[in-house]
A and B are shown apart, each in its own frame.
Chain A
Amino acid sequence: MRRTTAIYGLMAEFRSPHEVVEAARAVHDAGFRKVDGYSPYPMEELSEALDQHHSPLPKIVLAGGIIGLLAGWGLEYWASVIEYPMNVGGRPFHSWPAFIVPAYETTILFAAAAAVLGMLALNGLPEPYHPVFNVPGFVLASRDKFFICIEATDPKFDREGTKKFLAGLGATEVSEVEH
């Protein structure tokens, strides 16, 4: 009965950062692509081993900064020149040197907001439910254990074969991830 239900994937647990990176390289070399690694702290080596070391975030942040600059300056120009021109000590309505500071601040504000919201969006957060949380030992992923999960949608995925393959990589435990 249990064997016929569809699963999300297979989760292998590893004890050390060294073991999980070795295993991740092997998984990637074996041709698996729908794979994710889990670690209690950022590990550049793990992202690299799984070839997930690219992020479009810098471009999003650059766009945020440019929009912030234009929005800040546009606001100052519109308010001081078009909507509410005010003669302050004979200065021109478009007193650009004085407009630098607020525009500088809005540039940083928009870029920082783009970094935070962009990171959350790229990671698909908030996401209250995810199948990996169904693995009982997975709570330790935020403490001291390392995991690799191969998803069932990977073309090379085979329930028994992949399980054997993961166990052969030095995993302390391989469990099925239910939906």
Chain B
Amino acid sequence: MASPAAGDPTRQTEHDRLIAPGHTFGTLTDKISQIVLQRKTPRGWWIGFAAGFALLQLLLLAVVYLLFVGIGVWGVTIPIGWGFDIINFVWWIGIGHAGTLISAILLLLRQEWRTSINRFAEAMTLFAVACAAFYPVFHTGRPWVAFYWLFPYPNTMGLWPNFRSPLIWDVFAVSTYATVSAMFWFVGLIPDLATLRDRAQSKPWKIVYGMAAMGWRGSARHWNNYETAYLLLAGLATPLVVSVHTVVSFDFATGIVPGWHATIFPPYFVAGAIYAGFAMVLTLAIPLRRFYRLEDFITLKHLENMAKVMLATGLIVAYGYMMEAFFAWYSGNIYELFMIKNRISGPYWWAYGALILCNVVAPNLLWAKNLRTSVPFLFCISLVVSVGMWLERFVIIVTSLHRDFLPSSWGMYAGTKFDWAAFVGTIGLFVTLLFLFVRFLPAISIFEMRTILPEADMPKEDGA
């Protein structure tokens, strides 16, 4: 039971503590709820929100033009039928894995440091999944009829989807993931919404937060059911989060395309998703803690732990790259051998080289403790990892498809300006939603933070 985080988290060294000393239930509640309840919106918030909102308008333009003209405005064409749309889908859904991992798996593993980062990591998950869902839906070309292609419901044509297709598995996995993540997030918010209801000064906000809190009053009977539900949700979300990227990898692995048809795909995709997700959490946590002065709650310890998770999963990803090459060589199959040779030294050698630099070389710098605890360095490396993971999906999708079995069917691929507009536009959607979240909901779970304060320590009975 004597884990280093147990006991008094404030009485440890600056590098090890989870909360700065001197905080009580009251100061902690006031500090976090103040961010939401303050009347005046900070100027920096408006600037960030405006930037995100402007990019969101680019998405609107890209979508209108896409629907007006058709999928031809994107760069996808045979032999490369999957381009930016699937690259970005996998990239976003991968980013969306950190939230549930932090809230569910780290909860079950009793990692107390998850408490200050789980709330906004979950929000990030939801927004990333929303961005991801955009791509396959619009890649259908006619999203208004995509419902009966994707979802099983009795329609007038009497059609049903083919459940043997990994693309249908994907629909089930991603929609379940989005729903369960949203429920998990909302359940976690209920007690904090009650805090906001009780602390809001203006009547309209009291009503809004009051409706959202649904009459939560913190009764012992409620907490008992609540804790049971939260733990069970964590237990259910754990196999779910592992299944989602596994199913996404099946989209590739079940196809007989050299470069996709490999058994290493599911674990290697899941590790890549965690790696990308933690990079995005760092990208968001570092400016958030600085701008809202949350260094007391998101300490160096949190940043360092996230860096360690990134290093570990980065090494698994590197192992995946090695195994892909090994499988191709060991198979003795000429198409597999050609694929890996073409991937490394073909026309897209630069993408593969940059990928190795970003995802294999760069994370190894995190072995050094002084780099792992340097905030500017962590921010830079988190961006490098995000670029690296985007390149990984580009390499997997484009280099595997562009050299078909017959040389007469070879081609090249590049995203058009509409591909880029849609990609940048979804980043705008993500940023906009995040800024709204930080303004209207507590970015750190207040009630869970109370439980790790020294004030909440109960004296052990009978010296047990």
A→B interface (CB under 8 Å): 16-18, 21, 24, 36-47, 50, 52-55, 57-58, 61, 65, 75-76, 79-80, 83-84, 86, 88, 91, 95, 98-99, 101-102, 104-106, 108-109, 111-113, 115-116, 118-120, 122-123, 125-130, 132-133, 138-144
Contacts and interface: CB of A to CB of B under 8 A. Distances in A.
Contacts of B215: 125-130
Contacts of A144: 24-26, 29
A37 B219 CA distance: 5
B272 interface: no
B203 to A, nearest CB: 14
A102 B447 contact: no
A24 B219 CA distance: 13
Contact of B225 (A57, A138, A143): A57
Nearest to B179: A109
B163 A113 contact: no
Contacts of B159: 84
Contacts of B162: 80, 86, 88
B243 interface: yes
B223 A43 contact: yes
Contacts of B183: 112-113, 116
Contact of A143 (B163, B195, B210, B448): B195
Interface string B190-231: 010011011100000000001100111111111111111100
A53 B226 CA distance: 12
Contact of B210 (A53, A55, A84, A128): A128
B176 interface: yes
B334 interface: no
Interface of B: 24-26, 29, 152, 158-164, 166, 168-169, 172-173, 176, 179-180, 183-184, 186-187, 191, 194-195, 197-199, 210-211, 214-229, 232-233, 236-237, 239-240, 243, 247, 250, 447-448, 450-451, 455-456, 458-459
Contact of A75 (B152, B180, B211): B152
Nearest to A149: B219
Contacts of A91: 164
Nearest to A65: B236
B226 A119 contact: yes
B224 A55 contact: yes
A115 B199 contact: no
A128 B160 CA distance: 43
Q: Which of A21, A42, A109 has the most CB of B within 10 A?
A: A42
Contact of A41 (B169, B184, B451, B459): B451
B240 A139 contact: no
Given A41-B451, A105-B172, A112-B183, A143 B29 contact: yes
A36 B219 contact: yes
Contacts of B458: 17-18, 21, 43, 45
Given A80-B163, A88-B162, A142 B221 contact: no
24 contacts: A16-B455, A17-B455, A17-B458, A36-B220, A40-B218, A40-B447, A41-B448, A41-B456, A50-B220, A55-B225, A57-B228, A80-B162, A83-B160, A105-B240, A108-B236, A112-B179, A112-B183, A112-B240, A119-B228, A122-B225, A127-B214, A128-B215, A143-B26, A144-B26
A21 B450 CA distance: 17
B220 A39 contact: yes
Given A113-B183, A142-B29, 11 more contacts: A16-B455, A37-B220, A38-B218, A41-B191, A41-B456, A55-B225, A80-B162, A102-B163, A108-B240, A125-B222, A143-B195
Contacts of A128: 210-211, 214-215
